[in-house]
Structure 1
């Protein structure tokens, strides 16, 4: 799994997702706020499946592990 989420994108995802989850947990917004767990998870693992489908990559370097034949 190659990383496709850059540092700025990662920070926005984690912070925004946590805000949504906290607002849902306190009852300020509806239960739909729990969907904030998705951007938190994709920010933590630095991989977004939707970016792969759309051909988007916000990280400048591929910091994933190289293929076995290149090690």
Structure 2
């Protein structure tokens, strides 16, 4: 497994974004807006994955490490 590079406030923000995007996805899918709902769902899954695994590929590519904050 890759080394952790997401921590502290960054992890908390990603968790909150995952929750907000999940709510947006559910509400837009209920309104019949499939593209917007699916994009929000993909974003929620991505941020949720980052928050739970403490790893972000974009952070790694950019050399960012927020685990020491």
Q: Compute the TM-score of the two structures, normalised by the length of structure 2.
A: 0.77
Q: Is the 8 A contact 1:5 1:58 kept in 2?
A: yes
Q: Which runs of 4+ in 1 moved over 3 A?
A: none
* Structure possessing the higher relative contact order (Cα contacts under 8 Å, 6 or more residues apart): 2
TM-score, normalisation: structure 1: 0.75
Instruction: Tell me how many residue pairs correspond in the alignment.
Output: 61
1: CA distance, partners of 2:24 / 2:4: 29
More helix by share: 2
Structure showing greater radius of gyration is: 1
- Aligned-residue Cα RMSD (Å) equals 1.8
